[in-house]
Structure 1
């Protein structure tokens, strides 16, 4: 769990991993033996989506938040293969670069699926998983849609769609409490998707993204898993959480009333308390709590 001293950074640094430049934020802790927690964002997002959790988690742990290739401030690579399994491997290789051995992953939406890939690839290093509104059971894009993505007009259409995309309306669709949507929030979420090269990354993700893990693959993830869902999640309905809990061997599901897909923005303190309790639970208790709250 020790971090190489030359990598003790304040937030906002870049690192080359598998020939891709990765932007990440590192929050040190006064306790050198503090647990390392890694935050993995979802689709059309970046490290910004964890901004409300950071004040709580950094009090207890060393925290790393990274932008995945193609998103946020990381490189919009034209050589990276944008598969979820590759993202999972990149997280492991990223940890190798920082000389970090044991971590707990917190993944939101698509980041949850990526975190499960990392956990499956490195079960001895990924100790626990926290999945927030985790994307699951999504199939690969159709062959016809993938074929269309190579047409010049497709890129133009995607660019036009992004430029016209109303970030405020998008935030309203992923939050239950509309009062949380401020101009500051709109600007924070708008900036990462405004870069011109972002469109090309989205298209590559459409082409490369394999289907989500099957039920049989999920059963191979043996680590303790905490799943947190908003009951009013319109992006990934709570029924997906129940199905995922059934397929994961060691999972607990917590559902928050009056909460949408961006659970981190709506219930940061409550979620942080659940995360801390889950991380610090005694080892002999981890296989017992399989209930839904």
Structure 2
């Protein structure tokens, strides 16, 4: 098996988009991976070696996270993030991809399926965000303050990387220094807090039930039994409102299933694509 990995930055819709292409020369299908809030492509580090056994894989750092752009002029709405990913996939010449979205990335994936259903063969939602409303108007107004990004930074520093990582896993024994450093890395660049400040007012909220019911793409929902960030009842509700959806629940798992249950996630994805 021959796997080549290439890293890229491409200006899409006015922002630098960082992505990696893991190419399996024998693979016919391509998977596009979208990470969650306060994360990056790093969250798929244990899943990618499994996926590349059978597929080509593209991982994208969604702005303002990871190594993508973080400036305050880009519109960080889910609709625009989805349009940005669509534009990248089209420019790279891919059609009929499989979308994998974790947490917030699942919500971006759903937006992509609505905007351009012919682009996506099937969707795989890993503990996807669902039914979150937009920020309150008072918070949106505060986000216009020149120093609001400092408040965002202080708020995130207060909780800390260790506490945040402990909240997204069920088995805390898997947490090590490499894991903590990987999830801390994007926040060493202070510019991310300006992007997050803009995201506070741009994020329009998750798709409503009425819109979810219009998605025609087949979807597999994979959930952690003990997800504290997006509880299992959200997955069950999404499975009833997305017309062609199936829910799989992984035992003894939390929110970060690409880390905790990479092999089981991979096996379910293979079965679904087959």
Tell whether 2:255 aligns with 1:261.
yes
Q: What SS is found at the alignment partner of 1:11?
A: strand
Aligned-partner Cα distance in 2 for 1:78–1:155: 10
Aligned-partner Cα distance in 1 for 2:81–2:142: 24
The equivalent of 1:287 in structure 2 is none
The equivalent of 1:289 in structure 2 is none
Map 1:133-212 → 2, pairs under 5 A = 133-212=127-206
The equivalent of 2:91 in structure 1 is 97
CA contact (8 A) 2:150 2:193 kept: no
Matched length = 272
Map 1:1-293 → 2, pairs under 5 A = 10-31=5-26, 34-280=28-274
Offset of 1:248 from its aligned partner? 0.3
Q: CA RMSD in A?
A: 1.4
Aligned-partner Cα distance in 1 for 2:13–2:150: 30
Offset of 1:23 from its aligned partner? 0.7
Offset of 1:30 from its aligned partner? 1.6
The equivalent of 1:283 in structure 2 is none
Offset of 1:156 from its aligned partner? 2.3
Offset of 1:149 from its aligned partner? 1.7
Aligned-partner Cα distance in 1 for 2:116–2:4: 25
Q: What SS is found at the alignment partner of 1:38?
A: strand
CA contact (8 A) 2:24 2:54 kept: yes
Aligned-partner Cα distance in 1 for 2:84–2:32: 13
CA contact (8 A) 1:17 1:97 kept: no
Aligned-partner Cα distance in 1 for 2:257–2:75: 29
For structure 1, which runs of at least 5 residues remain unmatched after alignment? 1-7, 281-293
- Cα shift readout 1:25-51 (whole Å, capped 9, x = no counterpart): 1011122x6101000011000000100
Aligned-partner Cα distance in 1 for 2:211–2:254: 27
TM-score, L = length of structure 2? 0.96
Distance 1:231 1:271, change over 3 A: same
Determine which structure has the larger strand proportion and give its number: 2
Aligned-partner Cα distance in 2 for 1:222–1:116: 10
- Cα shift readout 1:81-122 (whole Å, capped 9, x = no counterpart): 111011111111001111111200000001000001111111
Offset of 1:11 from its aligned partner? 2.9
Q: What SS is found at the alignment partner of 2:24?
A: coil
For structure 2, which runs of at least 5 residues remain unmatched after alignment? none
TM-score, L = length of structure 1? 0.90
